[in-house]
Amino acid sequence: MYFSSNIKFLRKRKKRTQDDVANVIGIKRPTYSGYENNIAQPPLEVLVKLSKYFGIAIDTLIQIDLTRLTESQLYDLERGSDVFLRGSNLRVLATTVNKENEENIELVSEKAKAGYTTGYADPEFIKTLPVFQLPFLSKNKKYRAFQLNGDSMLPIPDKAWVTGEFVSDWNTIISGEAYIIFTIDDGIIFKIVDNQISNNGNLVLYSLNPLYEPFEMPVTKIKEVWKFVNYISTEIPDPVLPKDDLVKTVVKLKQDVEKLKSKVKKKL
């Protein structure tokens, strides 16, 4: 049962104190603290109040470890898409470990991407993926490697293997950094991200290759986010501008295009 850890997690996620929650549901703070610390169990009427306060079904509060959900799943829950209310399938990240109980790095090849779209949450499918280890990466974090397709992130070449660190809290996504974004509709996307979640619930995705236009991706369409760690390739990239200069170049090109559009409109 996950009730005590869940209400503590949800309270901190809402940035509320124990006093805040206790006052709203009409109990004393020490009583509420006892629920979070698993010292006491709340009566049914308090469970109902907590369910309404957090917007989460009672069964979900008790049976699902909310700390293991992705940001997309939490986002859906907080907006009413509760498995016990809607009958949908609530899933956590499927993963594999080695004989020493250490997290493997699974490889999602170009051929495996189609299967990943439907099997990403299926432990049996994840077990079929090739795995490897990188000893210089943290053993306390989860990593996965995806094979690129295309030239949108040059100088990282087509068919390179990009390793990412699993991101469970999407509010921690750092604007200007590279991330692997997995969506059901668009598959696996590797881009520089501008985090606009707090403003409009979107991520703005930029390519390193200035030939590609940036676009917005609603978090409701995202299933997984992986922060770029490194890449492996058999090709040596051609000399290019440093990453910071590339990003500045993309931004400047976009600004120049907007200015040209504005001038054309004025002439018309």
Counted domains in the chain: 2
pLDDT in tens, 20-69: 999 999 999 999 999 999 999 999 999 999 999 998 888 889 988 888 87
Report the b/e string of 132-159 with b at 16+ CB within 10 A.
eeeeeeeeeebbbbbbbeeebbbbbbee
Domain assignment of residue 171, yes or no = yes
Which domain covers residue 158, as residue numbers? 105-234
Domain assignment of residue 98, yes or no = no
Structure tokens at 189: 């996307």
CA distance 22 to 31: 8
Q: Treating both helix axes as pointing N-terminal to C-terminal, what angle do 44-54 and 3-13 enclose, rounded to 10 degrees?
A: 30
pTM of the model: 0.60
Domain assignment of residue 185, yes or no = yes
Domain assignment of residue 182, yes or no = yes
The verdict on 43 and 120 lying in the same domain is: no
Structure tokens at 89: 């399938």
CA distance 196 to 74: 17
Domain assignment of residue 75, yes or no = yes
CA distance 218 to 140: 29
Q: What is the pLDDT of residue 86?
A: 47
> The domain that contains 8 carries what CATH number?
1.10.260.40
Q: What is the pLDDT of residue 10?
A: 94
* Number of CB atoms found within 10 A of residue 184's CB: 11
Q: Looking at the DSSP assignment, which residues form a beta bridge with residue 103?
A: 97
